[in-house]
Amino acid sequence: MKKTSTRLADGRELIYYDLRDDTVRDAVDRRPLERTHTTSEIRRDPLLGDQVAIASHRQGRTYHPPADQCPLCPTKGDRLSEIPDSSYDVVVFENRFPSLAGDSGRCEVVCFTSDHDASFASLTEEQAGLVLDAWTDRTSELSHLPAVEQVFCFENRGEEIGVTLGHPHGQIYAYPFTTPRTALMLRSLAAHKEATGGENLFDAVLARELADERVVLESEHWVAFVPYAAHWPYEVHLYPKHRVPDLLGLDEAARSEFPQVYLELLRRFDRIFGEGEPPTPYIAAWHQAPFGTLEEFDGVTRDDFALHLELFTIRRTSGKLKFLAGSESGMSVFINDVPPERAAERLREVAS
């Protein structure tokens, strides 16, 4: 992998990740952009104890542009985009409309390919491996920023999810706090460790799932399963078999095998609802240990956390979505319409 860092016309950082070491990236952003000004602010809810990002500048962000005006496609002649070069393998750049900025963290966009009509599932294993390298590199770099406590790499796919740009891409949020969902996991880790005299909860969950009927696919270094208490109609958790706290901890064997496993999982997702159905909307989310202090979680260290990816769709059956209505949105109590065992069975049925 070759990494080349440059600056866009408004001062934002852009980084090319290339498969070839001899690739030259010297294109200049020719757009007449002024420096970006953001109003991101973190406010704490005193009753729930969580944080809310207030980012009013995002109201003006790009919204469903025509394909020939996509800002994530490479620059072609006089059609200027966020990527100055005429081609690229993988690109990461600072979001022009970030939810988090400055002392409130950082937001980045990850473009998986220059092909506007592609998807992550259509990438080659080599391309998918390069995306993993980019995620890992950004996790490392962002973790050293003074304001950053947790790094979250994710992909939103599909208009039903709320995606406003059709080009295959994901995002990275670098939070200045430990996110509520991760904090819940850490509290459960601490409680289980104390109650069992030191047993790791992630290890116990993984052992249980490996012995049950909800395993979707398994390789030498990875296992994907529908969790016992899945929140979403079709939800898969992907774990490396050797517990590591973050992407940086993956060894070469696991890294080499990841593209094959993950691409197969995504392709199965697109086949869940049968032939002729539109691509399955999904969220793919990497869960990594925070880089800040874990003192509030008694007895838990970063090494107790288990890196894993959670992949789920909001489509519950052909042509129907799972809406987060009163119980889910009002009380955070999910009601799942598809038994996890049946979801796992379906995902095994649609194997390549």
Q: Which residue has the tokens 């809406």?
A: 323
What span, in angstroms and rounded, lies between the C-alpha atoms of 196 and 186? 15
Interatomic CA distance for residues 348 and 352, integer angstroms: 9
Query: How far is the C-alpha of 287 from the C-alpha of 307, rounded, in Å?
Result: 6
- Three-class DSSP category at 130: helix
CB 167 within 8 A of CB 74: no
Q: Are 1 and 133 in contact (CB under 8 A)?
A: yes
Q: How many CA atoms lie within 13 A of 78 on its CB side?
A: 0
Structure tokens at 83: 């990527």
Coil, strand or helix: which one is 58?
Answer: helix
- If residue 348 lies in a helix (H) or strand (E), which one and from where to where? helix 340-349
How many C-alpha atoms does 31 have within 13 Å on its Cβ side? Answer: 20
Tell me which of 57, 64, 144, 169 is the catalytic residue.
169
CA distance 288 to 330: 27
Q: Could you give the angle at the alpha carbon of 156 between the alpha carbons of 69 and 126, nearest 5°?
A: 85
CA distances from 16 to 24, 85, 125, 152, 289 (A): 10, 10, 19, 20, 26
Residues 224, 216 contacting (CB under 8 angstroms): yes
CA distance 233 to 218: 21
CA atoms of 48 and 91, how far apart (whole Å): 37
Q: Report whether 38 contacts 13 (CB < 8 A).
A: no
CA dist., res. 96 & res. 141, Å (int): 19
169 catalytic residue (yes or no): yes
Active site residues per annotation? 169
